[in-house]
Amino acid sequence: MTCSLLDCGTVEERDFEMSDFEGTVARWCPGCGDHAVLSSVQRLLADERLPPEQTVFVSGIGCSSRFPHYLNTYGFHGIHGRALPLATGMKLVRPDLHTFVVMGDGDCCSIGAAHWVHAIRYNVDMVVILLDNNIYGLTKKQTSPTTPQGFGTNTQPRGSYLPALDPLSVTLGVTNASFVAQTADWAPGHLYETLRAAYRHRGFSFVRVLQRCPVWTLSIFRTAVQQPQMTELLLHEDGIGDDGTSQLYKNHLSHDPADLDRARALARAGDRVRLGLFFHDPTRPRYDALRALPVHTAEERIATLNEELDRYAV
């Protein structure tokens, strides 16, 4: 039993094409890694048969946060750093919605950091995609929390003063984390398989996407793109599905995603780029499952709204 926005009842599965989820033409810069993520998301929505009227994308502010505009689904373009509480509220009131959150590194890891930490702990069922290009791109190259130490920006032209924040280590360090993965925009097969695994997990699925900015931070990931030996794939029968990416990246590491201590150690080691599922525990408690709200039909919602409005009638 699922509920659409207009009615509550059994919804027949429908087949979709990627084109069914195309919104307005994306206005990201040519070569921006966001394009690859958008394509993978559209493919996921079509393959998983997610009805557009039952799918919502929530974002904050930044280049990445234009995502809802480019998809033919429901979308909420929120304010800076507030995408996660918005999405949490939506999921609690409308548990039938397939909920996705798209944020940038500044959006999530700076002004939104407190919401990020508590959302991990709440473990509400949603897919959270962090597009990490290591810079405030939309506002023209300010240092972000994930900017590498020593990398020059318009706010710190002599180089970022502090070591970069590691989103994987932060997420893995929060109580009740349940799904933590990392992928890259230049590995489209791995990107898609990671998003699919994240969607199929019931809980807070955190996916960090290493994402190239062709204008401000292209040099940061250039070596990793040009030298595949710098990349190490985390492989396991309970990990990310292999679409052939393992043939391109020869460095493999067997890692059981149930091992939290090992996941934390792998996230801290900065000698190479690691792609894969770091941690997965589907048994972690979910706030939305423990505090489920009743789902009402459209008629019931309208009646409740009219009853509330009548209280203030003059």
Q: Sketch the domain layout of the chain as residue ranges.
A: 36-302
- For 147-171, what is the mean pLDDT? 95
- For 177-192, what is the mean pLDDT? 97
The token duo for 63 is 């280049």
Which tens digit of pLDDT belongs to each residue from 223-235? Answer: 999 999 999 999 9
The token duo for 136 is 């405030």
**What are the backbone dihedrals phi and psi of residue 103, each rounded to the nearest 5 degrees, phi first?**
-135, 160
| pTM (global) more than 0.85 | yes
Does the domain at 36-302 match CATH 3.40.718.10? Answer given as no
The answer to whether 287 and 126 are in contact (CB under 8 A) is no
Confidence of residue 75 (pLDDT cuts 50, 70, 90): very high
pLDDT(2) > 60: no
The token duo for 132 is 């990490």
Whole-angstrom distance, CA of residue 106 vs CA of residue 142: 10
Whole-angstrom distance, CA of residue 217 vs CA of residue 136: 10
State the pLDDT at residue 1.
35
Closest by CA to 170, choosing from 180, 183, 184, is 180
pLDDT(7) > 70: no
- Degrees to nearest 5, angle at CA 91 with 19 and 50: 25
**What are the backbone dihedrals phi and psi of residue 52, each rounded to the nearest 5 degrees, phi first?**
-55, -35
State the pLDDT at residue 10.
46
State the pLDDT at residue 34.
95
In the chain the first and final C-alpha atoms are separated, in Å, by: 40
The token duo for 193 is 């398989």
Please state, as a whole number, how many other Cβ atoms lie within 10 Å of the Cβ of residue 17.
10
Whole-angstrom distance, CA of residue 30 vs CA of residue 214: 8
Which tens digit of pLDDT belongs to each residue from 12-70? Answer: 678 998 898 999 999 999 999 999 999 999 999 999 999 999 999 999 999 999 999 99
One-letter amino acid for residue 311 of the chain: R
% of the chain residues with pLDDT over 70: 96
State the pLDDT at residue 242.
86
